[in-house]
Amino acid sequence: MSKKKLVMVGNGMAGVRTLEELLKIAPDHYEITVFGSEPHPNYNRILLSPVLAGEMTIQDIILNDHQWYAENGIRLHLGKTVKRIDRVKRRVIADDGSEEGYDRLLLATGSNPFMLPVPGNDLPGVISYRDIADTDAMIDAAKRYSHAVVIGGGLLGLEAANGLKLRGMDVTVVHLADWLLERQLDETAGRMLQKSLEERGLKFLLGKQTEALVAGESGRVAAIRLKDGLQLPADLVVMAVGIRPNIALAEAAGIYCNRGIVVNDTMQTYDPKVYAVGECVAHRGIAYGLVAPLFEQGKVAANHLGDYGISRYTGSVTSTKLKVTGIDLFSAGDFFGGKDCEEIILNDAAGGVYKKLVIQDNKLVGGVLYGDTADGPWYYQLLRDGQDIHEIRDHLLFGQSHVGDVGHQGHSKAAAMSDSAEVCGCNGVSKGTIVKSIKENGLFTLDDIKKHTKAASSCGSCAGLCEQILSATIGGAYTPAASNRKPVCGCTEFSHQEVRDAIRQQPLLSIGETMRFLEWTTPDGCDKCRPALNYYLISTWPKKAKDDPRSRLINERAHANIQKDGTYSVVPRMWGGLTTAAELRRIADVADKYQVPTIKVTGGQRIDLLGIRKDDLLGVWKDLDMPSGHAYGKSIRTVKTCVGAEHCRFGTQLAMDMGVKLEKMLFDMYSPHKVKLAVSGCPRNCAEAGIKDVGVIGVDSGYELYVGGNGGIKTEVAQFFVKVSNDDEVMEYAGAFLQLYREEAFYLERTCHYLERVGLDHAKSRVVDDEENRKALHGRLLAELKDAKDPWAERIAGVEKNEYETLSV
C-alpha cells in the first residue's frame, strides 16, 4: 500500500518536533516533504541569545542537520517560501515554482516580528531579533559600530541588549512600560532585574515612547528620537516589541483565522486535512510564544496524524526564564493575583532575593522568583497539576527541600554548582556533562537527560536537581510533564491515563491486543509496562480479561519475597494479627523441617520465615496450611489491630473483630500498589492507624476513618475522611474508597500519591457525598472478591514446580 503524503510548511522547532513525534509512533505512515524559508536546517531558536553573547556558535544550536532529514526520508526544500495553498487540488506552491501534493498538510509558519510604525523603521541598521540572519547582523554591527538601542524591555529585548553589551557596544534599552518584563514580573522583581542589568553596564529609559528613527549622512540609522524630544545616538536599532502569528498563507487559502490559525483540541484547522502547530496557531483564543506549549501541541498533532486519535491539547500554563548568564528569574501563572487571592512574599532587597507566591482556593496559581529560582520547577509542577497545598502552605515559600520531598532535599542550587560537581551519584554524572549534553543534543525533557547521560535513571533521587539544571539551561523551553501525562515507560508515548482510557473505550481485553492497538514500540513490552497493563486490564474488565502470570513480578508468581541471597521470605496470613496455638505449632514445625534460619515478627503483626529455598516453597505452603499473607503483592497486605475493647480498659470499639472483618472482606484484592490498613480501638491509636492507606480509629460514638497514610521512605500522615457509626459503615466506606483507588490510580501509585494527584475532595465527593456511587463502588469490590481464593490452592494441588522458571519480570 502506497504511503500518504504529508507536507509541512515551516521548518522551525514546533513543526520538526511534530515530525519527530510522528516518526516515533508511525514511521512508515507518510512520505514527508518540508518547506523552510530559511537556508538552515532546524535549529534551537531559544539559544540564539547565547550565540549573540558569544557563548555558543550557530553550529552548536543545530537540532536536526541535513543528514537527519535524509535518514528519515524527508524531502527538504530550504530557502523556499510557500506562497499559495490549493486546497481543492491539495497542493502547495513555493515562490520558485516548486509544487508538492498532499494528503495531509501541517502548517508551522511561526510568527513575524512586529515593527513599530514610525518614520525610519525601514532604514539600514534597523532590525528585529527572530532568527539566525538577525543574529548575524547584530554580531556584524557590533564589530563596526559603537551605539545600539534596543526598543523593548521584554525577554528578547533584554537578551539582545545583554549580548550586544558583551560584544562591546554601548547599549540603551527603551521601554514603553514602567518596569522591565511587565508581562512576566511584578514591579518589585522588575526593579531588581533593572538594577542587576545596570550593574552590567546596560542603560534604561522606561516609560518612553519612540517617535522616529533618524538617518545619518550615509543613509543608515544614526539616532532614535523619543516623543519627549530626547534623541539618542544609534548605529544599530533592534526592535523587540512583540510578534504576530504568521497567518497570511492560511488566510489566502480560506482557512479560518482569528489572531492566529484557529485549531481545535486535535490541532486541526477548519479544514480537517490541514493541521497547524506553533506560534502561528490560536487555540481556544490563545497564541503561545514559548517553546514548551508548542511541543505539547506537536505531540498531539503527531498522535492524530498517526491515526491514534487519543490525545487532546487543552492549553498550557507557561513559565518564563531569562537567558542571561548570572541572572536568575522565574515566573509562571497568574502572579499578579487579584480578588479572592492570597499573596506570600519574601523580599530581601539587600540579598537580591524576591519571592512572591499567589494562592487561590488552596492552590498555587502564580509565582515570581528573582535571585533564587531553584524551586521554580517544583512550583510550576504544583501550579500545572493544580495540587492542593493547604497542608504545606506554611512551608511553601521556603521551597521543596524544606517540605522534605524525597529527591530534592539537601541539594545545592543548580546555578551555584560548579560544572565538576557530581549530580548523579549512581552513574557518576557531573553537572557539566548534563549541561553539555543539553546544549549539544537539544534536550528538552528529563527523559532526554536520562537517555543521553544516564543521570536520574537509576534511583531517581537526583531527578529534581536535573530538572533545575534543565530549567536553568533552556529557560522557558522546559516544562515538567503533568503528573498524569508521563509515559508508562520507554515502550510507548502514552500515559497511564491514556492507556486506561483506551482499554475502557475500545474495549481491549489482553496485553497483546492493547500493545497492538497502541502500537507499542517494543513488541513484548518491558518489566514496567507489562505488570501495569495486566493490572489495568483485569481491574477494568474483571470478568472478561484474564490475569497473565507472565506479567506478574517474580515475587507475586512465587508468592514469596526474594531476598538478596536468592532465598525467599514466606509470610502466612494472620487475620487482624490474630493467631492460634495450632497455627504457631505448624509454623514451628515448618521452621524445623525446612531448617528456616530466621523467624521474625513483622511490623504488620505476623510471622516471617526467612531463608527458604525456592525448591521448598511448595512444601512450606502445603505444610503451613495457612492462607498467604500477600507480603509480596501489589495487593492488600495487613490489617493491623490493637487489642481494642475486647481486652483494653481504654478501648471504645472492638478493634480486633473489626480488623478481621476488613481483612477477610479484602482478601486477595489486587491493587495499583500495596495497601495497608489498621484499626485502633480508641484515640490512643496503638495500631498506628494514622500512617496507613486506610486507618480506622474507634471513638465513643463510632469510628473515624483516615485515608492516604504511608509509613515508607517519606512518612505521610493519613487525612481525615469521614465519621461513621457502626461496623457496616466502616466496611462500606473503606471498601468504596479502596475500589475508587483501584479504578482510578496509576499502577505503582500509592494511595497518598493518588490523593495528591486527584485531591482529597475528589475522593470525598465520590464516596462520602454520593451515597449511590459509594454503594456501587462497594458492590463492585465485593463482586470482584467474592470468589477470592488462596493463591496457593491450585499449586498445592499439583502445579509443576517449573512454573517458577517462567520469564522473570
Q: What are phi and psi of 334, to 5 degrees?
A: -90, 80
Choices 3.20.20.70, 3.40.50.300, 3.10.20.30, 3.50.50.60: CATH for 126-241: 3.50.50.60
Q: What are phi and psi of 6, to 5 degrees?
A: -115, 125
CB within 8 Å of 796: residues ≥ 6 apart: 618, 621, 622
8 Å CB contact between 646 and 640: no
DSSP string, 360-396: ETTEEEEEEEES--TTHHHHHHHHHHT-B-GGGGGGG
User: Residue 648 annotated as binding?
Assistant: yes
Distances (CA, A) of 519 to 298, 306, 515: 19, 10, 6
8 Å CB contact between 629 and 574: yes
Which burial class, exposed, middle or buried, applies to 718 when counting CB atoms under 10 A from its CB (0-12, 13-18, 19+)?
buried
CATH number listed for the domain at residues 319-403: 3.30.390.30
Coil/strand/helix, residue 93: strand
- Per-residue 3-state assignment (H helix, E strand, C coil) for 706-751: EECCECCCCCECCEEEEEECCHHHHHHHHHHHHHHHHHHCCCCCCH
Residue showing cell 541535513: 66
Residue 106 pairs in a beta bridge with: 8, 275
Q: Evaluate whether 126-241 and 555-624 have a shared fold.
A: no
User: How is the chain split into domains, by residue range?
Assistant: 4-110+245-305, 126-241, 319-403, 414-477, 496-551, 555-624, 636-785
Write out the H or E segment, with its range, that includes residue 49.
Answer: helix 48-52
Helices (H), 336-462: 376-385, 400-403, 431-441, 446-453
Q: How far apart are CA 503 and CA 677, in angstroms?
A: 30
What pLDDT was estimated at residue 319? 74
Instruction: Give the pairing type, strands 170-175 and 203-206.
Output: parallel
Chain segment 198-246, per-residue pLDDT in tens: 999 999 999 999 999 999 999 999 999 999 999 999 999 999 999 999 9
CB atoms within 10 A of CB 68: 17
Residue 680 pairs in a beta bridge with: 697
Low-confidence ranges of the chain (pLDDT < 70): 1, 321, 323, 325-326, 401-416, 425-427, 457-462, 464, 475-485, 713-714, 789-809
> Phi-psi region for residue 268, left (φ > 0), alpha (ψ -120 to 50) or beta?
beta
Residue showing cell 542571561: 324
Chain segment 255-302, per-residue pLDDT in tens: 999 999 999 999 999 999 999 999 999 999 999 988 878 988 999 999
Q: How far apart are CA 335 and CA 367, in angstroms?
A: 5
**Mutual orientation of helices 529-540 and 727-744 as an angle, nearest 10°?**
130
Task: Tell me, rounded to whole angstroms, the distance of Cα 702 from its chain centroid.
Answer: 42
8 Å CB contact between 723 and 742: no
The class level of CATH for 636-785 reads: alpha beta
Chain segment 435-477, per-residue pLDDT in tens: 989 888 888 878 788 878 878 765 455 676 787 788 778 765 6
Nearest to 184 by CA among 51, 12, 376: 376
Q: Return the CATH fold of 555-624.
A: Sulfite Reductase Hemoprotein; domain 2 (3.90.480)
Residue 569 pairs in a beta bridge with: 561, 610
**Mutual orientation of helices 771-785 and 727-744 as an angle, nearest 10°?**
80
- Per-residue 3-state assignment (H helix, E strand, C coil) for 540-586: HCCCCCCCCHHHCCHHHHHCCEECCCCCEEECECCHHHCCCHHHHHH
8 Å CB contact between 702 and 718: no
Dihedral of CA atoms 252, 256, 258, 263 in degrees, nearest 10, equals: -120
Task: Tell me, rounded to whole angstroms, the distance of Cα 469 from its chain centroid.
Answer: 16
Describe the strand order of the beta sheet including 30-36 as a list of residue ranges: 74-78, 30-36, 4-9, 104-107, 274-276
Choices 3.30.70.20, 3.50.50.60, 1.25.50.10, 2.40.160.20: CATH for 4-110+245-305: 3.50.50.60
CATH number listed for the domain at residues 414-477: 1.10.10.1100
Residue 353 pairs in a beta bridge with: 348
Q: How far apart are CA 783 and CA 779, in angstroms?
A: 6
Q: What's the sign of the alpha-carbon dihedral 763, 765, 771, 777?
A: negative
Q: Tell me the three cell numbers of residue 203.
A: 542603560
Dihedral of CA atoms 544, 550, 556, 557 in degrees, nearest 10, equals: 110
Q: How far apart are CA 214 and CA 231, in angstroms?
A: 9
CB within 8 Å of 495: residues ≥ 6 apart: 484, 485, 486, 487, 488
8 Å CB contact between 523 and 513: no
User: Residue 526 annotated as binding?
Assistant: no
Q: How far apart are CA 149 and CA 204, in angstroms?
A: 10
Cα three-residue angle 111-275-26, rounded to 5 degrees: 120
User: Residue 341 annotated as binding?
Assistant: no
Residue showing cell 495497608: 676
Nearest to 234 by CA among 223, 243, 225, 226: 223
Q: What is the pTM of this model?
A: 0.61
8 Å CB contact between 158 and 181: yes
User: Residue 682 annotated as binding?
Assistant: yes
Q: How far apart are CA 499 and CA 506, in angstroms?
A: 11
Q: What's the sign of the alpha-carbon dihedral 668, 672, 676, 682?
A: negative
CB within 8 Å of 637: residues ≥ 6 apart: 604, 629, 630, 631, 674, 675, 676
Maximum alpha-carbon separation in the chain: 108
Instruction: Give the pairing type, strands 329-333 and 111-113.
Output: unpaired
